[in-house]
Chain A
C-alpha cells in the first residue's frame, strides 16, 4: 500500500502510513491474496499550481478534498496540501480491520469541505504549565479531528511562562519556575511548526488589561497600584492605562509577539476587567476627570483598548477580542473577530448583535469543556448550532466558527487529554459537518468508534458510556 503525491514535499503521507498500518503484523512474508481486489496505492493529487507547502494555513484556506476509492484507482484530490491532509485523515478513518486482522476499505466517493473555517481549541498554559509534549500531543489529536486553530491562552494572572526576548524578566519573575515552567523561543517555534505540518494555525492570546497579575512581577509599574484610602494597599490591579510607559511597553512587546507568531491574527483578550482597583487610585481618578469620562470606567477600559488596538494594527496583524470589547463599544477595525464566551446574556442574542454590527464572530460559550459534569454531556455540546440565532443570512455568514475551551484551573498534563477528548470531537463535527448532521443516535455510534480509533492511536480519550474497544488504552 503506497501513498503517492505529485510533489516532492512530504505532506503527512509518512505519518498517515504509520497511523493506518502500524498495527499490522509484519511477518516479512507476502500475504496470499484473500480477496480479488487489493488496493495497492492511493494517489494524492494537488490540483493548484501552488500547493502551499511552505505557507501557513489561514482563515481563507481551502480545506476541501475529493476522495475516490475504487479497486482500479484510488485518488485523493485537493487544491492544496491542507485539503490533502484533511483527506488523508478521512482515508485513515475509513480503513478498518476485519476479524482476520486484514485491513479493508470500502468503495468510497467523498466530496468534503468544512462548514466553518475557524475550528479551534483553547488551551490555558497559565493556570497550569503544560509541558511541550502535552501541547504537541494535543495538536496530533486536533488534526485527527480536523481542528485547524490552536488558541494558545499562554499567559494570565497565575503565571507568565512565555520567555520574551525583549522582556526576559516577565517569565524570570512571573513563571511558576523560570527554568522548568517556561516556553523558550525554541519551544514556541516547535509548536508553531508542528501545528503547521498538521494544517493548524496557532493564535496566541496575550490578554490585557485584566488577567495580568503575573505580568507585574517582572515589569514594575505596568499594573495599577490599588489604594486603601490615601495610601497604596500593596496589591495591584489591571494594566495601568494612564502611563505612557504602559504603551511603550506594549509597543515593544507586541512587536516581538507579531514576529514570533506567524498567524495573521493575535488574540488580545480584553475580558473581565475589574474596575475596583482603578477606582481606588487617585492618579487614575484625576485622569478620568481630565478625559471627561465621569465615573464610567468602561470608558477608561475602551481608551486603553483603543490605544492597544492601534499599536497592534501597526504590526499588520488582525486581532480577535473577547465580547466585552464589543459590548463596551470600543472602535474596532472591520476585520476584528469577536469571541463570544458568556452564557449570560444569552449567547444567541450576543451573536445576533455582533453580526448585526457587521463583525465576524466565533462561539465558545456552550463549549467550555473545563466545566465537567456527570454523564454524557457530549450530547449538549453536539446539539449547539452556532448559527441558530435571529439574523439574516448575511449575518449568519459572519459566523466564522467556534472554539472548545479548556481553561486550566483544574487541568494539567495529568488529566488534559481525557477531559478534552472525545467531548471536543462533538464540537469538531458540529464545526465541520453540515448542520443537518445532528441525529444523536447516529452520532453516538460513530463517536464511540471514533473514540476507539483515538485510543488505538495511543490517545487516552475517555469513554462515552459502558462498553469496550477492541484495543484498550494501555499507555500507563
Chain B
C-alpha cells in the first residue's frame, strides 16, 4: 500500500516510497491497474557470496504493453486443490500476470458448488465433497488474487463442453438419437428448450455476483453438431426457426441469447473465436479469444476480428499444456501478438493474451513444474517492449536467474537447461 517502507538499516538507511496512482488498496483491480512496482523492487535485490543483500541505485519507469496478461487453469479435467490455485496466483504475481482465467467446469467434472443449483456439483463433481470448490473456496481465491492485483475471470463454457452439467440438471443436455430412438448418450446443451435459457440466466446471475469481475467468459468453442442433428425435436426447431440445415445458425442463436443474458447483468463477455467464426454479428464489446490455427491462420484471424472492431486476446501460441523435449520456452517468447496485416487502430484492439494450462494431463502433481518457468516467457512478451526483448540469447541468462529466484520463493519451477541454483528445490 501507500507509504514508506524501511527495508534495511545498514550500511545506509534506505527508504522505498510507494505511491498508488489509482483506486487505493480497497478496490478490485480493474483492467487499468498498475500494481507491480513492489514486485520489480523485490527482483532487484540480490545476494553476494557472503549472503549480504544488495540493490543497485536504480531508476525505473515501467508499464505493461498489454493490459490483459492472463493464465488459464482447467479444474475440470483434473480437480486442483485450492492451495494449488493459491500458489499459482503467487507465481503469477511474480511474473506480473494480472488475470486468472478459471476454466472451472467442463465435460469431465463440475466442481463448482452452486448455491442456486447444488446438484450440479453433487452429481457432476468427481466427488461431491472432496473434489469441489465451495463458495468459501471461491471467495478465498478471489481475495488472494485481489491482494496480488490479479483479476479472476470465470469461464462457464457452453453449449459444448457441458457433459458434466447434465448429471445434476436433467433435461439440460440434448439426448442423441440413433434413428428414432434415444441412444442413451448426450450432446451439447439443448438450445431448443426455454428451460435451458432460464437455467443459464439463473446460473449467470449467481456467477456474476460471486465473481466480481467486469468480464465473464462464456466459452462457445468446439460444438459438435452430430447430436443436435440426430435429435428430431432439434430438427423440428431448426425448421420452425428457418435455419434450414445450417447448425451454425442454431449455435449462433444460442450464443446470442446468452450474450443478452450477460449484457443484461452488465458484464462484458469473452468468448472463444468459434463464436466469431460462426457468427459475425455479436455485440461490439464482446472480446474474442484466439486459441487455434497455424501461425498464418492466427494472423488472418487477428486481422478479421480486429477489422470487425472487436477486442481480441491471443492464446493459441501459448498452450503450455503442449509439452515437448527441449527448450520450448523459446517458442513462447518469440510470439509477436501484433504482427498481422492491419491498421494501428486494429492492432490496438489486441488487448493481450493468455497462457493456457489445459488439464487432460495435468494436476497438482505436475502443475507447477509444467507452468514455470515457461509461462514467464509469455509474461515478458505480454509486459515488455517487443523490440527490446526480441533476443532469445539475451533473455536466457535473465530467465535462468529468475527461475532460481522462483525456487528461492518456494515455486517448483523446472530447469531451463543443465546448471544449478545456489539454493536448490528442497520442498519434498
Contacts and interface: CB of A to CB of B under 8 A. Distances in A.
Interface of A: 127-129, 131, 133-134, 137, 158-159, 176-177, 180-181, 370-376, 408-415, 417-419, 455, 460-468, 470, 472-476
B122 to A, nearest CB: 16
Interface stretch (B14-22, B29-37, B420-428): B420-428
B81 A474 contact: yes
Contact of A412 (B109, B131, B323, B414): B414
Contacts of B418: 127-128, 158, 408-409
A379 B79 CA distance: 24
Contacts of B428: 133-134, 137, 413, 475
A131 B425 CA distance: 8
Contacts of A128: 415, 418-420
A468 B79 contact: yes
A411 B359 CA distance: 21
A409 B108 CA distance: 35
B363 A472 contact: yes
Contact of A467 (B108, B364, B416): B108
Interface string B60-86: 000000000000000001110101100
Contacts of B369: 414-415, 418
B414 A133 contact: no
Interface of B: 77-79, 81, 83-84, 87, 108-109, 126-127, 130-131, 321-327, 359-366, 368-370, 407, 412-420, 422, 424-428
A191 B413 CA distance: 26
A171 to B, nearest CB: 13
A374 B108 contact: no
A165 B108 CA distance: 57
A468 to B, nearest CB: 4
A476 B361 contact: no
A177 B425 contact: no
B338 to A, nearest CB: 28
Given A177-B420, A476-B84, A415 B366 contact: yes
Nearest to B360: A466
B365 A414 contact: no
A476 B425 CA distance: 12
In the A-B complex, list the 5 residue pairs whose CB atoms are closest, starting with the nearest. A460-B365, A415-B369, A418-B366, A176-B420, A468-B126
Contact of A375 (B127, B361, B414, B424): B361
A418 B365 contact: yes
25 contacts: A134-B428, A176-B420, A177-B420, A372-B324, A374-B321, A409-B417, A410-B414, A415-B412, A415-B414, A418-B366, A460-B364, A462-B361, A462-B362, A463-B361, A466-B108, A466-B359, A468-B78, A468-B79, A468-B109, A472-B79, A472-B81, A472-B131, A474-B81, A474-B83, A476-B84
Given A410-B417, A413-B428, A461-B365, A373 B325 contact: yes
Contacts of A181: 420, 424
B22 to A, nearest CB: 34
B365 to A, nearest CB: 4
Contacts of A176: 419-420
Given A410-B325, A414-B369, 15 more contacts: A128-B415, A131-B424, A176-B419, A180-B424, A372-B324, A411-B415, A415-B415, A418-B366, A462-B363, A466-B77, A466-B360, A467-B78, A468-B127, A472-B81, A476-B84
B413 A370 contact: no
A414 B361 contact: no
Contacts, number: 133
Nearest to B126: A468
Contacts of B327: 410
B131 A468 contact: yes
Most B CB within 10 A of own CB, among A177, A372, A409: A409
A79 B407 CA distance: 47
Contacts of A476: 81, 83-84, 87, 364, 427
Contact of A129 (B130, B321, B360, B424): B424
A373 B425 contact: no
B413 A414 contact: yes
Contact of A177 (B77, B127, B413, B422): B422
B88 to A, nearest CB: 11
B30 to A, nearest CB: 30
A23 B422 CA distance: 37
B425 A412 contact: yes
Most B CB within 10 A of own CB, among A128, A372, A411, A474: A128
Contacts of B366: 415, 418-419, 460, 462-463
Contacts of B84: 476
Contacts of B77: 466
Contacts of B416: 410
Nearest to B84: A476
Nearest to A137: B428
Given A463-B361, A466-B108, A473-B364, A414 B425 contact: yes
Contact of A371 (B81, B130, B325): B325
A127 B362 CA distance: 26
A414 B87 contact: no
Contact of A131 (B83, B361, B426): B426
Contacts of B413: 414
A468 B124 CA distance: 13
A446 to B, nearest CB: 19
Nearest to A413: B425
A266 to B, nearest CB: 24
Contacts of B324: 372-374
Given A413-B426, A468-B127, A476-B84, A370 B361 contact: no
A376 B361 CA distance: 8
B363 A473 contact: yes
Contacts of B78: 463, 466-468
A134 B417 CA distance: 19
Contacts of B361: 374-376, 462-465
Contacts of A468: 78-79, 109, 126-127, 131
Most A CB within 10 A of own CB, among B126, B407, B420: B420
B323 A414 contact: no
Contact of B364 (A158, A374, A474): A474
B323 A372 contact: yes
Nearest to B418: A127
A176 to B, nearest CB: 4
A178 to B, nearest CB: 12
Nearest to A368: B325
B319 to A, nearest CB: 9
Contacts of B131: 468, 472
Nearest to A136: B428
Given A131-B424, A474-B83, A414 B363 contact: no
A181 B426 CA distance: 13
A249 B131 CA distance: 60
B127 to A, nearest CB: 7
Contacts of B83: 474, 476
A129 B420 contact: yes
A462 B427 CA distance: 17
B426 A133 contact: yes
A472 B364 contact: yes
Contacts of A370: 325
A462 B414 CA distance: 15
A370 B369 CA distance: 14
Contact of B127 (A131, A417, A419, A470): A470
A339 B369 CA distance: 31
B186 to A, nearest CB: 17
A455 B428 CA distance: 14
